[in-house]
C-alpha cells in the first residue's frame, strides 16, 4: 500500500482543516481540549490510536457550529507494515447502500460525537455513530471517508472526505477536513459539535482474506508506534474553525512508554 495513502489511516476521527493563526485569537471565547493514546503503548508496536476532543466556550456553553479542523500527528509513525485500508469505500456506494456498500477491509476505525441541538429555549443532545473508511483519492493525496449517522433527536446521515497533507518539524502528517453544517430542523439553527471520540487501528476491526478458496477473518496490523520516543513524548495538535470565523486550538502529548524489561 502506498505510504501516502496510509497516512490517512490516522486521521482521523475527527475531520480536521489547516487554518492560519488569527490576530484576534486571544479574544475568542472558544476553548478546546485534546487527548490521545496508543493501545498497546509500546515502541515499535502495531497500535490503535485513540483520540478525544472537547469544544466549549469560556462561559461553559456550546461553541458555534464547527466548519473545519486539522489534526497534526507526530513524526515517525510507521506505515510500511500496516494492513489498514486494504480496500476502498466509494462515496457513491456508501450513499446508495450505507455501510453495507463498503467492503469490511476499507474500515479504519470507529467513533461518536456529542452535539448540541438547539430547539427553541431548550437544547437536546445526541451521540451519532462515526465510521472512518479508506476512500479513493481525487487529488493524489490520501483520502479518508467519514460517515456519521444520527438517530435522535434528529435523524441524519452525513458523508464527507478528509485529505491528508504532509507536515514538518515535530509532526509528520495532518488530516484536513471541511465539516458540513447540519440544521437542527428545516430552516432552524445548525447544531454544534461538543465532543468527538474516535479510534484508528485494528481494535474492533475484522478483515477477510481468501485462503484456499475460503474467506478467513483476521485482525489487520495497525500503524506502528515510532521505535524512538522524542524528548517529552509524542506530540499531537488540533486546530478548529467555527461558523463565525473564530478559531481555537489544542495540543496534547502521549508520554514515552516505559522501557521494556529484559526478556519481555
Write the pLDDT tens digit of every residue in 104-125: 999 999 998 888 876 544 456 7
Give the pLDDT score at 141. 78
**Does residue 188 carry a pLDDT above 80?**
no
Any idea which of 25-29, 135-139, 149-153 has the lowest mean pLDDT? 25-29
Helix (H) or strand (E) holding 194: strand 192-200
Any idea which of 31-35, 78-82, 83-87, 207-211 has the lowest mean pLDDT? 78-82
Q: Which residues of 11-47 are buried (b: 16+ CB within 10 A; e: fewer)?
A: bbbbbbbbbeeeeeeeebebbbebebbbeeeebebbb
pLDDT tens for 253-263 read 999 988 766 55
pLDDT tens for 30-78 read 999 999 999 999 999 999 999 999 999 988 888 999 999 999 999 998 8
Reported pTM: 0.82
Residue in the block written with cell 482543516: 17
pLDDT tens for 223-232 read 999 999 999 9
Mean residue pLDDT across the chain:
83
Nearest one of 257, 196, 172 to 69, comparing CA atoms: 196
Rounded-to-integer distance, Cα 47 and Cα 236, Å = 16
Helices (H), 59-119: 91-97
Give the pLDDT score at 20. 40
For residue 69, which phi and psi values (nearest 5 degrees)?
-150, 160
Which three three-digit cell numbers place residue 4? Answer: 501516502
DSSP string, 4-53: HHHGGGG--SS--------TTGGG--EEEEEEEEEES--TT-B-EEEEEE
Query: Is it true that the peptide bond before 40 is cis, omega within 30 degrees of 0?
Result: yes
Torsional sign, CA 187, 188, 193, 199: negative
> Where residue 10 falls among pLDDT bands split at 50, 70, 90?
very low
Which three three-digit cell numbers place residue 255? Answer: 508520554
Q: Which CA distances in Å does 26 have to 12, 63, 66? A: 27, 16, 18
Rounded-to-integer distance, Cα 215 and Cα 202, Å = 18
The answer to whether the CB of 71 falls within 8 A of the CB of 51 is yes
Give the pLDDT score at 165. 86
Bridge partners (DSSP) of residue 160 are: 146
The answer to whether the CB of 208 falls within 8 A of the CB of 217 is yes
Amino acid at each position: 500500500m502506498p505510504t501516502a495513502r496510509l497516512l490517512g489511516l490516522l486521521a482521523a476521527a475527527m475531520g480536521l482543516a489547516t487554518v492560519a493563526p488569527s490576530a484576534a485569537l486571544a479574544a475568542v471565547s472558544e476553548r478546546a481540549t485534546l487527548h490521545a493514546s496508543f493501545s498497546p503503548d509500546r515502541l515499535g508496536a502495531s497500535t490503535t490510536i485513540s483520540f478525544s476532543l472537547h469544544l466549549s466556550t469560556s462561559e461553559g456553553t456550546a461553541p458555534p457550529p464547527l466548519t473545519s479542523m486539522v489534526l497534526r500527528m507526530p513524526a515517525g509513525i510507521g506505515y510500511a507494515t500496516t494492513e489498514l485500508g486494504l480496500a476502498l469505500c466509494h462515496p457513491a456506494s456508501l450513499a446508495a447502500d450505507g455501510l453495507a456498500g463498503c467492503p469490511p477491509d476499507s474500515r479504519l476505525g470507529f467513533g461518536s460525537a456529542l452535539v448540541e441541538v438547539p430547539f427553541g429555549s431548550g437544547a437536546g443532545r445526541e451521540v451519532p455513530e462515526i465510521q472512518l473508511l479508506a476512500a479513493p483519492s481525487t487529488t493524489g493525496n490520501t483520502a479518508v471517508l467519514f460517515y456519521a449517522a444520527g438517530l435522535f433527536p434528529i435523524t441524519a446521515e452525513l458523508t464527507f472526505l478528509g485529505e491528508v497533507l504532509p507536515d514538518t518539524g515535530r509532526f509528520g502528517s495532518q488530516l484536513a477536513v471541511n465539516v458540513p453544517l447540519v440544521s437542527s430542523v428545516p430552516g432552524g439553527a445548525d447544531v454544534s459539535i461538543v465532543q468527538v471520540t474516535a479510534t484508528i487501528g485494528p481494535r474492533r476491526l475484522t478483515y477477510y482474506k481468501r485462503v484456499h478458496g475460503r474467506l478467513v477473518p483476521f485482525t489487520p496490523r495497525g500503524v506502528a508506534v515510532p521505535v524512538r520516543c522524542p524528548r517529552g513524548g509524542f506530540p499531537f495538535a488540533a486546530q478548529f474553525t467555527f461558523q463565525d470565523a473564530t478559531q481555537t486550538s489544542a495540543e496534547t502529548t502521549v508520554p514515552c512508554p516505559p522501557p521494556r524489561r529484559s526478556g519481555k
